[in-house]
Amino acid sequence: MKFIRLTLNNFRSFYGEHKIEFSSDDQQPVTIFVGDNGHGKTTLLNAIHWALCGKTTPRLDNSSQLINLDAFSEGVRTTSVTLELVTGVTGSPTYRIERTGGNSGQSDLMLFETRDGITQRSRAPDVQGAIYEFLPKGLIGWFIFDGEAINEMKLDGSPNLRRDVRKTFGLNTVDTLLNDLEHIERSLQREISRQDVGSVVPEKLENLERLEKSRDLDTKERDELGAELLNLKTNVDLWSGELRKFPDTARLELERTRVVKELDVAKGKFKRVISERARRLGDGSLSLLAFEGSQKLIEVFDKLEKTQKLPSNVGESLIHDILKDGRCICGRAVEPGSGEHESIHGLLDTAATSLLSSRIMHLRYKLFDIKRVASQFENDYLDKTNQISELGFHIGGLELRKKQIRTEMEGIPVRVIAELNNQLNDADERITIINRKIGALDDRINVTKSQIARLKSEINSIQLSASVAQSLILRRQRVSLVRDYIARKLVEQERVTFDVLAQEINSCLQKYLTRDYTVSIDPQTYKMEMLRGDGTRIPTGAGDGLVLRYAFIAAIVGMAAKNTATQIDWLARPVVAPVCMDAPFSALDESNSGNVASTICDLCDQVILLFKGDAWPTLEQKILKKIGRVYLLISEAKGVRGDRPVKDILIMGTRHALNDYGAERDQTVVKEVYRA
């Protein structure tokens, strides 16, 4: 990771906006800020620290006052720091961290990514976490620190030391990966156990084979029966065709039976009608003879009445009643002595007596009866005669049909027909049996087919599981192999790391010190001690002992950046970040500071140093070739200078003032005075 640009906005002593470009050149990776005490060096370091983690360093005075005082008095209630950086990872975008906050200690954080000229806000769910990906939280203090507090760096073998060293070199990532792979391997093993199919498949395959054989046998039998059925139906059609050529014997027989029966009935009826006619003739022949006589007698009676040889039909009692009452039956008066009365009286000569009239009437009735009976006999006789004639005609027709039927039947080859009928009956019987068998076979075949389909599906599913299991087994084996491989590599890398760390620290110590001191590192805890040649321990809290911390930082940062003499091909990407030191070497003896600065600037990819003007001459000589940019932190004060002093500094042959007067406000301004 390298810092590109820092922008301050009303941050502590920096009023308004200040933009600072860092040197990120590989050959001149050092950016230097020179300023006296109170000119804003620690503020600048804290601006970077605050941008990265939202906190200031422990030694910052008045740390709750982040907003520039003049700006605050003008009503400004927020301050912001923007830090732009690149991670150095191929294909990675340029990041911009924007932190805004007030004096409350709270801050808002935004992260932007610029790729191919397009800037967009990061979609990382945890922006602070994403920033810790660039520089892990626990390691910020190793890269961005206050040199005056260098002796607070613990190299005493605390658990954090080993953890942080491993983290810097990415070894914790390898630990996590190994742990993850072990977890994945266990998951795969569980999945394999679930997929285990045992001996189910062979058993099911045997069942499948048996069912398929059964299906084939049934199908064969069904096909044979089908062929036989087809043959039989062909024969049935043939025989039926032949039978249709002959008259229908059964129909003829039936008709003959019907004709005979009808003939019997007709003949019986014929006899009965003849008999009835004969009886009627016997009963009615005398009435025919009497008919003529009665007719004659009626004519005689009529004639005698007309000639009055028989009493009239007027009764004498009636005449007596009219004469006695003097009134006709029509109501008209008949006066005695009148002509009419005489005339009616004269009727008494021919008037009938009642007895005679009764006998004549009886006789007449008898004569009419004789006539009626004779007439009815004639009608009956004619009717019967007609019936006899019709029946005779009908009987003749039936006799003729009976004869025709007999002739037709005599022409039929009965034996042939019987044989054909027998064959047809046999065939029908066989067809019925075959159809029944085919039906049963079809049912059985369908059931078997269904069982086969189900079994095949089960087998496919099991085989798929088996295939999945096999694939999972291979995957688990591969995971196991790669895990073993990485674990072996990690052990190897830890050993190499330990050796190289000791080697690099010793190399630094040799450059820093004139004495022959070496470092002793505990391989378990990474506890570090500096030893004299005779093996005695040197206290690390002050003097020469302090350089061990700088040597440790230089070695760690250099190893991570692969800038050391022995380079390690890291398993995982290590943390590579700029080293940013405030008052970097103030705790060291002047004789050591130049060498320490030189080593650090040689080993680190990017270095930001903030120091007082006093230290400049020594450092300039040691790190001149590495310097990319130099800034002055100039303190400006309000009011006229008067007797107040102005300090200056010679940088790259040019003299610059470190403070000034007559400004609108008391503030720090940043001025670039050198760029490589």
Partner 1 sequence: MRTEMAQDNTNQNVTQEWLVKAAERLLMKSKQSDENVPDAQRRDALLRALVELEQL
Pick the stretch among 30-38, 318-326, 481-489, 638-646 that binds partner 1 (CB under 8 A): 481-489
Least Å from the CB of residue 558 to partner 1: 21
Contacts (CB under 8 A) with partner 1, residues 559-578: 569, 571-573
Contacts (CB under 8 A) with partner 1, residues 281-340: none
Q: What is the 3-state secondary structure (H, E, C) of 33-78?
A: EECCCCCCHHHHHHHHHHHHHCCCCCCCCCCCCCECHHHHHCCCCC
- Written as six digits, the tokens of 19 are 């933009």
Least Å from the CB of residue 202 to partner 1: 25
In whole angstroms, give the CA distance from residue 236 to residue 216: 30
Minimal CA–CA distance to 438: which of 233, 613, 295?
233
Which residues pair with residue 649 across a beta bridge? 656
Least Å from the CB of residue 477 to partner 1: 5
What distances in angstroms separate CA 357 from CA 312, 345, 361, 570, one per listed residue? 9, 20, 6, 171
Least Å from the CB of residue 479 to partner 1: 6
Least Å from the CB of residue 112 to partner 1: 17
Neighbours of 66 (CB within 10 A): 26
In the bound state with partner 1, the residue whose beta carbon lies nearer, of 401 and 475, is 475
What distances in angstroms separate CA 504 from CA 195, 468, 507, 511, 562, one per listed residue? 53, 51, 5, 11, 12
Question: Exactly one of 16, 38, 136, 545 binds partner 1 (CB under 8 A); which one?
Answer: 136
Question: Exactly one of 86, 130, 149, 363 binds partner 1 (CB under 8 A); which one?
Answer: 130
Question: Exactly one of 26, 61, 126, 664 binds partner 1 (CB under 8 A); which one?
Answer: 126
Pick the stretch among 142-150, 475-483, 547-555, 559-567 that binds partner 1 (CB under 8 A): 475-483
Neighbours of 162 (CB within 10 A): 17
User: At 196, which amino acid appears?
Assistant: D
Residue 180 sits in the site that holds partner 1 (CB under 8 A): yes
Residue 184 sits in the site that holds partner 1 (CB under 8 A): yes
Neighbours of 97 (CB within 10 A): 22
In the bound state with partner 1, the residue whose beta carbon lies nearer, of 65 and 176, is 176
In the bound state with partner 1, the residue whose beta carbon lies nearer, of 405 and 577, is 577
Q: Are strands 107-115 and 659-663 parallel, antiparallel or unpaired?
A: unpaired
163-169-175 Cα angle (round to 5): 60
Residue with tokens 């054989």: 213
Pick the stretch among 31-39, 50-58, 173-181, 252-260 that binds partner 1 (CB under 8 A): 173-181
Least Å from the CB of residue 493 to partner 1: 10
In the bound state with partner 1, the residue whose beta carbon lies nearer, of 278 and 496, is 496
Pick the stretch among 31-39, 273-281, 482-490, 593-601 that binds partner 1 (CB under 8 A): 482-490
Least Å from the CB of residue 173 to partner 1: 5
Residue 176 sits in the site that holds partner 1 (CB under 8 A): yes
Cβ neighbors of 252 (< 8 A, separation 6 or more) are 405, 408, 409, 412
In whole angstroms, give the CA distance from residue 263 to residue 257: 10
Residue 478 sits in the site that holds partner 1 (CB under 8 A): yes
Residue 479 sits in the site that holds partner 1 (CB under 8 A): yes
Question: Exactly one of 177, 281, 469, 531 binds partner 1 (CB under 8 A); which one?
Answer: 177
In the bound state with partner 1, the residue whose beta carbon lies nearer, of 135 and 344, is 135
In the bound state with partner 1, the residue whose beta carbon lies nearer, of 497 and 506, is 497
Pick the stretch among 15-23, 177-185, 231-239, 645-653 that binds partner 1 (CB under 8 A): 177-185
Question: Exactly one of 63, 122, 173, 586 binds partner 1 (CB under 8 A); which one?
Answer: 173
Q: Which helix (H) or strand (E) holds 641?
A: none
How many binding residues for partner 1 (CB under 8 A)?
30
Question: Exactly one of 485, 617, 639, 652 binds partner 1 (CB under 8 A); which one?
Answer: 485
Least Å from the CB of residue 654 to partner 1: 46
Question: Exactly one of 17, 77, 121, 129 binds partner 1 (CB under 8 A); which one?
Answer: 129
Residue 475 sits in the site that holds partner 1 (CB under 8 A): yes
Residue 537 sits in the site that holds partner 1 (CB under 8 A): no
Pick the stretch among 8-16, 471-479, 615-623, 634-642 that binds partner 1 (CB under 8 A): 471-479
In the bound state with partner 1, the residue whose beta carbon lies nearer, of 183 and 532, is 183
Least Å from the CB of residue 128 to partner 1: 9
Cβ neighbors of 153 (< 8 A, separation 6 or more) are 141, 142, 145, 549, 552, 553
In the bound state with partner 1, the residue whose beta carbon lies nearer, of 186 and 303, is 186
Question: Exactly one of 422, 457, 477, 520 binds partner 1 (CB under 8 A); which one?
Answer: 477
In whole angstroms, give the CA distance from residue 660 to residue 673: 16
User: Could you write out the DSSP letters of every residue in 518-576?
Assistant: EEEE-TTT--EEEE-TTS-EE-SSSGGGGHHHHHHHHHHHHHHTT-SSS----SSPPP-
According to DSSP, residue 333 is labeled B
Residue 77 sits in the site that holds partner 1 (CB under 8 A): no
Cβ neighbors of 520 (< 8 A, separation 6 or more) are 528, 529, 530, 531
Contacts (CB under 8 A) with partner 1, residues 582-601: none
Least Å from the CB of residue 489 to partner 1: 7
Minimal CA–CA distance to 201: which of 462, 405, 507?
462
Residue 514 C-alpha from the chain's centroid: 76
Residue 482 sits in the site that holds partner 1 (CB under 8 A): yes
Residue 170 sits in the site that holds partner 1 (CB under 8 A): yes
Helix (H, G, I), strand (E, B) or coil at 668: strand
Helix (H, G, I), strand (E, B) or coil at 206: helix
Question: Exactly one of 83, 174, 259, 427 binds partner 1 (CB under 8 A); which one?
Answer: 174
In whole angstroms, give the CA distance from residue 623 to residue 652: 12
Residue 181 sits in the site that holds partner 1 (CB under 8 A): yes
Least Å from the CB of residue 220 to partner 1: 47
CB 306, CB 328: distance < 8 Å: no
CB 559, CB 507: distance < 8 Å: no
In the bound state with partner 1, the residue whose beta carbon lies nearer, of 171 and 530, is 171
Residue 115 sits in the site that holds partner 1 (CB under 8 A): no
Least Å from the CB of residue 164 to partner 1: 14
171 burial class (0-12, 13-18, 19+ CB within 10 angstroms)? Answer: buried
In the bound state with partner 1, the residue whose beta carbon lies nearer, of 109 and 424, is 109
Minimal CA–CA distance to 6: which of 623, 631, 657?
631
In whole angstroms, give the CA distance from residue 419 to residue 501: 118
Least Å from the CB of residue 86 to partner 1: 17
Residues near partner 1, by CB under 8 A: 124, 126, 129-130, 132-133, 136, 170, 173-174, 176-177, 180-181, 183-184, 474-475, 477-479, 481-482, 485-486, 489, 569, 571-573
